Amino acid sequence: MDVYEAISGRRSIRKYQPTKVEEKKLLKLTQAAIMAPNGGNAQPWDFVFVTDVDLIKQLCYLLESVHQEYFGKARKDALLDERLQRAASFYRRMENAPAFVLACLNDRNPQLNKPYEQWTLQWAHHSIAAAMENLMLAAVAEGLGTCWLGTPSWRTEEIKSLFHIPDNVEVVAVSPIGYPDEAPKARPRMPLTEVTHFNAW
């Protein structure tokens, strides 16, 4: 599978087969992730894989509550309770995923003067995003599905406590990993002519 096939074949998967994902495959995903471009080769990342069934259930419960709280408050047009419940039910479905990954930002060189540290932190977030994209495309090549969940980065203290993540580390993104039990169609994208500019806007 070439990179364009992986890109076009990637989907957000919310239903998974219970089949266990081999540890060597998870390590291959990590290897792909750490090859991502990152500012100053700072490599500001750590990856926590969750494979324990009880921990996955607890994680999904937390993710559901965070999702409901965030979207219940964040949107200007208030979401109806029914719609919030339907969206949050995705997390109950994802309990069947055999693994989850927590992509964490670990600032290993916090020695910059203010205000420069805020820019380094922003670039570190970019690096985590690049690593996650690498991981997700590698998952496609391995026949696995993922679903990038960014909401947990809004409130991570409970998640950090559950997995004993140090105070100075931030959970940026979470994703289930497993063999898909659904085949969603590609969602529409804006035309290239609307988003592509040459030399000026």
Per-residue three-class SS string for 65-78? HHHHHHHHHHCCCC
The H-assigned helical ranges of 75-197 are 81-93, 116-141, 157-162, 192-195
Please list the helix, strand and coil fractions of the chain in percent, rounded to the nearest 5, in that order. 50, 15, 35
Which tokens sit at 39? 């500012």
Q: Which of 43, 47, 48, 46 is nearest to 124 (CA)?
A: 43
More confident residue, 198 or 119: 198
**What φ, ψ does residue 12 adopt, rounded to 5°?**
-85, 110
Q: Can you give the pLDDT at residue 142?
A: 97
DSSP-derived 3-state class of residue 146? strand
Which tokens sit at 184? 């969603």
Sheet holding 145-146, edge to edge: 45-50, 99-106, 169-178, 145-146
Q: Can you give the pLDDT at residue 80?
A: 65
For residue 185, pLDDT beyond 70: yes
Q: Can you give the pLDDT at residue 111?
A: 62
For residue 68, pLDDT beyond 70: yes
Domains of the chain, CATH where assigned: 3-182 (3.40.109.10)
For residue 184, pLDDT beyond 90: yes
| Mean pLDDT along residues 150-165 | 84
Whole-prediction pTM: 0.89
Q: Which of 15, 48, 5 is nearest to 29 (CA)?
A: 48
Q: Can you give the pLDDT at residue 64?
A: 85
